[in-house]
A and B are shown apart, each in its own frame.
Chain A
Amino acid sequence: MPSDIVIVGGGVAGIAAAVVAARSGCSVTLLDSGSAVGGQYYRGAKSPESGSGLSYEALRRAFDELVVARGIDRRLDTYVYSLERRDSGFVVRTRGDDRHRGDVDVLESRAVVIATGAFDKQLPFPGWTLPGVMSGGGAQALVKGSDVLPGQRIVVAGTGPFLLAVTYALISAGGNVIAVVEANDPVGLARHAWSVLPAAGKSADLAKFVTALAKKRVPYLRRHRVRRASGTGHLESVTISRVDGDWRGIAGSERILECDALAIGYGFTAQTDLAAQVGARMRIGSDGGLAVEVDERQRTSVPALMAAGETTGIGGVDLARMEGLIAGVAAVEQCGRQAALSDAAIARGMRDVLKLRRFADALHFAFPVRDGWRDDVDDQTLVCRCEEVSASKVRGAVSDLGARDARSVKLLTRAGMGWCQGRICAPAVDALCRFDSAASLIGGSYRPVAVPVPLGAIAAES
């Protein structure tokens, strides 16, 4: 039986949308690929962690109660491989988790909210494929979700305030973080964003992180970057150095840090696949990455399709929650109902979204990605990890075979044709080849199959 609303993604944006939609009397199905809701930020959350945690507890309780009362059909361990538009709404094709790949289902709904979050952006560097090198989000998932530390001597690196959050999570779990290696020098933060912090409710978070690092005497090395990772069969050390304003290494400043885990990330890439499948318009966010374009009500350019959270542009947990609320309201109205939320509350929410987006933009401005990392990518460095395509092959496609965009590089070198379908390597290919990022990113964002699915399972639909 079709639902009024299908929500894809059970992070804080999806949960917020689901609660308002269910409270407004709509039938709601929420899908999440994990074994529990909460997304990345609230992974494994039993007790609130941040200043806004108390209200998350309340939100989560409301969600759980609605699930029990059957106001929300919550489907965990569920992946969406295709979103399709029909005249009367949408068709959502799902499969189970990796133990149940063949368990497919086809759902219909009048409206859809996409809240599929984001994943860490990686910039290739020599040695990045060594076991022990992982994303900040991956390290965070280990501690928050499974209570496991990634290693005994951990280096956290990359750029962005997320490094602090990851470090905090690691040291709170007893982890030994020997250094935080931040490529930027976020002095700009002092002028721009700190002033916005109290309004955004972020001051508690960041103060907490900074205090914890200071207490544990974790060195926070600004204007430093990981140049290479080394080891035989697994990570044994990283070479870091000071960098200039363009992220180029400063000769003579190299240092070797012995470590067995590197948690590294350079911002995030929004998961926009499902929106791209139905032709929703994209935009380039203030971080230079692709995001689903939405209006002030979180509506995409596709009727009855809303998007919320990191999917619409990287902006953090509080923004995601507000966007989820607004998207839920829009979905309810799409179904011809009245939202169970006062106009004043909705207006307040929309104002908060604007404020939080400005804050996010300020952070992106303070933590940009600069080009100097490209100089470290030698011929042998893999760019596409799935298909093991080296930088020399990628560069050769441009210089020798006339490749002009990421798609051509893909078809000529196989970069982007493997399991992850270019999610990890696409930004790096664009940057290394100096393609027009916007056009190339948008062109490469269409993935007709959002997650692999067994042929036998799709054969059933013939």
Chain B
Amino acid sequence: MNTVVPGSEQPDPDDAPVEGIVLRMLLGTQLRRLRETAGVSPERAGTEIRGTRSKISRMETGRVGFKARDVDDLLTLYGVTDEQLRSRFLSLAKQANRPDWWTRYGDILPDWFETYLGLESAATTIRSFEIQFVHGLFQTEDYARGVTMLGHRAAPAEEIEQRVAVRLKRQDLLTRPTAPRIWSVMDEAVLRRPVGGAAVMREQLRHLAEVAALPHVTIQVVPFARGGHAAASGSFTILRFAEHDLPDLVYIEQLTSAVYLEQRADVEHYLEVADQLGGSALTPAASTLFIEQVIKET
């Protein structure tokens, strides 16, 4: 488990902009494999690049950017002599450090959310379970404003609008040519809680029914009538990436930070819960009918 708490870490010159985090995870995985094949300990590798065991560990898990010089030295240490392979590694490392759109909002976004946006836009499958709010990718502008106001009552109007803008900009990935598959299971409470008022909620519910019809979007509702469910603890998101080497990531948002779970045992527990929730939820077609019913009652 890797807990990211904003402000709790010293600024690290190695901390890269978030875009390319998946690329970094991939490169890191490959570097770890090369290191293990070469029989080099993390300590020894750390020393080679004027760092520590923990620096190697951070690189290998994609938490930090790659300096060309470090990658170059590590490849040498691991006995990689193929020039083509070396230059491919180096050019990937460069790409992995590239910034993206949300860096513009850096002043209002906590680091952990920036990281999430990078991961979300790189995922090929996004599975989520929501117990409270409509998933950010499906929120209407007014609903998003309602949610934002809840968390930032004292914030100036301009900041609220900026935050809403980020939420909406995020939704670009729904319509891009290589849109990820989004499979969102939600508790009935999400549909019943009128964030922003009844009118805003009705519009939001109508929007939800519309996105549910997109071929790459699946929305399922777990009605109250189904009793308790497997996700007793709360909302979570599972991101899956195309690369075979990359494990799924579980993302859990908290009030002031976010938690990423990447250990297989943790991730598998959430996958299992997600599978159980998917199985106990209404079918996608019945969920749309359910949402339409709630619209009438809202």
A binds B: no
Residues of A within 8 A of B (CB): none
Interface residues of B (CB under 8 A from A): none
